[in-house]
Amino acid sequence: MPEAATGVGLRPLRLDDMIRVREWRNLPDVARYMYTDHQISEGEHARWFGDAIERPDRRYWIIELDGQPVGLANMVEISERHRRASWAFYLADPSVRGRGVGSFTEMFVLREAFEALKLNKLCCEVLGSNEAVVAMHEKFGFVIDGVLRQHIWKVDHFEDVVSMSMTADEYRARHSS
């Protein structure tokens, strides 16, 4: 298992993050791996941001490295009844990639899902072209459930989406001390 990067932390999303997060979401390097790749307007972002902060079935965190915001992680569709959720993250600052920030974030979210929230299943979807993130999730114990073929329209082509998940039993078997 990769070691956690030093100086990495996650904190809850706050109102004063609103402008920064919209700027990040509109970065070409971030948008290329998201479902939404058009320029996000202030109004559209304000609606999304309000839901991100207020809805009880969502958790959003700012990823920080040495106290500086570098990305966003989230858990959405949190279902108490089915004890499952979906999650995603991105690093907006390309200079922090390859420094363990993604691995730290993945472990943070896994602990939040399976230890704090006591979920039974955590899901994620990754664009098929993002092979590095698919491989990272597999390294942490996520299993590919299937491929949604030509599922998302990206600028000028359709993209496959890799559907992945991990159960609480799989988490405990792999990550228990």
pTM here is: 0.92
C-alpha span between 104 and 10 (Å, rounded) = 9
Indicate whether 64 belongs to any domain: yes
Would you state the structure tokens that stand for residue 155, as one six-digit string?
Answer: 């600028």
Domain holding 47, by residue range, is: 8-175
CATH number where 92 lies:
3.40.630.30
- Helix, strand or coil, per DSSP, at residue 173: helix
The CA distances from residue 135 to 19, 48, 153, 164, in Å, are 31, 29, 23, 11
Indicate whether 1 belongs to any domain: no
pLDDT for 1? 37
Q: Are 63 and 71 in contact (CB under 8 A)?
A: yes
pLDDT for 3? 43
Indicate whether 3 belongs to any domain: no
Indicate whether 77 belongs to any domain: yes
Total tally of structural domains belonging to the chain: 1
* Element of type H or E holding 23: helix 18-25
What's the average pLDDT block by block, 10 residues per block, for the chain (177 residues)?
68 97 95 91 96 96 96 98 98 89 96 98 97 96 98 94 98 87
The CA distances from residue 104 to 3, 8, 22, 31, 147, in Å, are 8, 7, 23, 22, 26
Indicate whether 2 belongs to any domain: no
